[in-house]
Amino acid sequence: MARRSSSSSGFMAELKERIISEARVLESPGERTPTGIRGFDELVRGGLFRGATYLLSGVSGAGKSIFCLEFLYRGAAEYGEPGLYVSLEEHLDSILRNARNFRWDMKSLIDRQMLVLLDLSAVAVGERALSLNPDMFALDGLYTTIETAVKEGGIKRVVLDPISVLFLQYGNVGVVRRELNVISGMLKRHGCTSIFVTETEHGKPSITRFGVEEFMADGVFILYWEPEGEKRSRYIEIYKMRGSSHYEGKKRFSVTDNGIVILY
Ligand SMILES: Nc1ncnc2c1ncn2[C@@H]1O[C@H](COP(=O)(O)OP(=O)(O)OP(=O)(O)O)[C@@H](O)[C@H]1O
Ligand SMILES: [Mg+2]
């Protein structure tokens, strides 16, 4: 009995300390980092929260990878924040070819290690980097690879594109969700602002493909690529942004040769 009360008082003391230290968060409004994407930071009242994890969802061709590349490019070129792009599906040469269309000098950023690109597409690494134990620590290899790159490169912005591939690869949605939460927690500890990309399917109304990705993110942004008459138009929606007000509703955007521009 005595033992129980002493350990419970120890637990209470620890809990109280933890509550007090966590409560310090209330004293600061949260530091923001602008994405630099023209028109976007206004939609979220000044940029993303530093150290938070965001989810970017949308159908194929909606502009997700371009959005993420620009987030990293502007972060490195304009805000001095080194970025890491982890490609889980598309080959790096294809991503770089995509970026070459824009008036961005990615090469000098890569040469100066302000931009680190990691090709972890299934074809590039097979199962090796991603899988140790399919049930318990399915994404251990991914965790270690990312943490090493983050620590060695002093990385401040991270993109995982797309995480949907991991759900497809492992099948166990619960395990992948938990592991992604662990990766997100590690990125937070290193002060990285991160975007996880997830795909939605054409014609399906859901926000994310597996219906679980949105719960683990501090914010969710949706890109639409919608048919209008004989053409298609691009829209963006801030669906969720913890700790901030934001523009409500869809805004039109376009992809120009200088990146994304939010319109009206
Ligand atoms: N320089 C450019 N100017 C205008 N539009 C462009 C340019 N480059 C690419 N695009 C548009 O962006 C689209 C590709 O965008 P992106 O690769 O970001 O899509 P995504 O959402 O990542 O798709 P996926 O899910 O298939 O990877 C192209 O299909 C094209 O419509
Ligand atoms: Mg893409």
pLDDT tens, 52-106? 999 999 999 999 999 999 999 999 999 999 999 999 988 888 888 888 889 999 9
- The tokens of 126 are what? 């097979």
What does residue 128 show for φ and ψ, rounded to 5 degrees? Answer: -50, -55
Q: What's the pTM?
A: 0.88
Which residue's CA is the nearest one to ligand 1's atom 24?
Answer: 60
The pLDDT of residue 6: 54
The pLDDT of residue 186: 95
Question: Which atom of ligand 1 lies at the shortest distance from residue 69's CA?
Answer: 18
**Residue 8 CB: number of other CB atoms within 10 A?**
10
Strands of the sheet containing 115-119, edge to edge, are: 115-119, 83-87, 157-161, 193-199, 53-58, 219-228, 231-241, 250-256, 259-262
For 6-10, 52-56, 122-126, 167-171, which range has the lowest pLDDT when averaged over its residues? 122-126
Distance 62 CA to ligand 1 centre (A): 6
The reply to whether ligand 1 has any atom less than 6 angstroms from the CB of 8 is: no
**Residue 46 CB: number of other CB atoms within 10 A?**
13
Candidates 219, 254, 262, 222; CA nearest to 64 is 222
Alpha-carbon distance of 51 to 47, in angstroms, equals 12
Kindly list the distances between the CA atom of residue 101 and the CA atoms of 86, 110, 166, 193, in Å, as whole numbers in the listed order. Answer: 20, 17, 29, 26
Distance 161 CA to ligand 1 centre (A): 14
pLDDT tens, 1-31? 444 455 778 888 888 877 877 776 666 668 9
Q: Residues 54, 180: contact at Cβ < 8 Å? A: no
The reply to whether ligand 1 has any atom less than 6 angstroms from the CB of 257 is: yes
Q: Which of 59, 64, 69 to mutate to test the pocket of ligand 1 (most atoms within 8 A of CB)?
A: 64
- pLDDT category of residue 207 using cuts at 50, 70 and 90: confident
The reply to whether ligand 1 has any atom less than 6 angstroms from the CB of 255 is: yes
Distance 63 CA to ligand 1 centre (A): 5
The reply to whether ligand 1 has any atom less than 6 angstroms from the CB of 60 is: yes
Q: Is the pLDDT of residue 153 over 70?
A: yes
Mean pLDDT on 196-221: 84
Q: How many CA atoms lie within 13 A of 153 on its CB side?
A: 28
Give the residue carrying structure tokens 């199962």: 127
The pLDDT of residue 25: 62
- Sign of the C-alpha dihedral, residues 103, 46, 82, 89? negative
The pLDDT of residue 27: 64
